[in-house]
Structure 1
Amino acid sequence: MSALEKKTQEVLLNWVKCPFDEDHRILPTRLVIHLNRCARNHSGLKMVRCPFDITHVLKVNEMEGHVAICPSRKKDEMPICFEELPELKRQQQVETSDTTWDDEPVVATYDPQLYCAANPVVRMLRGANATERHQFREQERARFRAFREAAEAAPGKEDKKKEEK
């Protein structure tokens, strides 16, 4: 056997057969991608994926037997049959508190529109005609001009600029 034939056999041994089409040979690193594509092309086949390893694709009637002996299944995993599950004893915890929410002061709800109008936040007008958008942009320019003037007139701002120079 030549070196080329040996190398070809090694490569073929590492490849995996596609469960949808046995003529397909795939590298194990590309198997998940191939299975997704091949499943779309063979949507007529009734195949399901193993809950423990998505690369295990089997016919529906074979899956129950596979799940019981799947090598990817953890040994210490809980049993699958609901009859075998132990009954859980749930303890009901009742939380008690001396605080009543009715005694707390009334607080106004948060209104993002009011917050944005009172702070230098860029706002957008949606669903308006051209005239309304133009008026809104003019109002926004005036609003930002007022914020800029208030910031420049704030005490201490000029002192900082002089110190930087």
Structure 2
Amino acid sequence: MANNKYAVGPVNYDKYITCPYDSAHRILPIRISKHLIKCSGNPKLIRCPFNVTHVFSAAAMKDHVIECPDRSSLERYKMPDSLPPAEPRANKFEVETEEDWDVEPPAKTYNPKKYCEEAMVIVNPQGIPPAARREFRERERKRFLENNKF
């Protein structure tokens, strides 16, 4: 048996969040929303209307709703003109060019059925009865013999 040794770094507990329902639970920020669904056992705690990962008591929720950092996204959605944009708007500019991507290319269209009839391609007919398959194979044999390919 091979002796595999794996090096494991120390756990960085600074990145973890404490569960609002049970202080013994330590969760990564990425997994907090899923954990809160599983662990929602205390009916006295209320979830923030702006972010479901914010859970507080009823008294603390009144203050939190006023100061919630995620509230600005709702305010910006309700009144997009009265608030400054979240990100600076990109400069609108046009590049002048002679290329037109809407024009069809000068190439011919490809018809696979026509190509298979003209070239020496062996086709396996699907979904036809055995008698029609025999006739198809016989026609293909004659076509190949006429073109001296086999």
User: Structure 1 length as normaliser, TM-score?
Assistant: 0.38
Query: Structure 2-normalised TM-score?
Result: 0.42
Q: More helix by proportion, 1 or 2?
A: 1
